[in-house]
Amino acid sequence: MVMFYVYVLKSLKNGRHYTGSTNNIERRLLEHNSGQTKYTRQTGPFEIVYKEVYDSKLEATKRERFLKTGKGRAVLNKFLGS
């Protein structure tokens, strides 16, 4: 069974967070850290600071979208202590 992840990365360069989703979190982190991702190319390296697991891509995508809203960022700030 394929699992889907919603993850939050923290830039070790500037301390900012990036939220995304994937079905392979290890591969995705390597892509971010090797500059293969346009949005995060200039701000790596990264570490995973938070993740959630879902059974479907739809669930993960919905959660990712929520976490990128104002209310979602407030929820993340509670988890991340920001």
pLDDT number for residue 22: 98
Overall number of domains in the chain: 1
CA pair distance 66, 14, nearest whole angstrom? 24
- pTM to 2 decimals? 0.92
Handedness of CA 77, 68, 40, 48 (dihedral sign): positive
Cβ within 8 Å of residue 17, ≥6 positions away: 8, 9, 10, 11, 49, 76, 80, 82
- In this predicted structure, the answer to whether residue 19 has a pLDDT above a threshold of 70 is yes
pLDDT at 82: 65
Q: What is the domain range of residue 41?
A: 4-80
pLDDT digits (tens, 9 = 90+) for 63-74: 999 999 999 999
Instruction: Give the rounded percent of residues in the chain with a pLDDT score beyond 70.
Output: 99
CATH number, domain containing residue 71: 3.40.1440.10
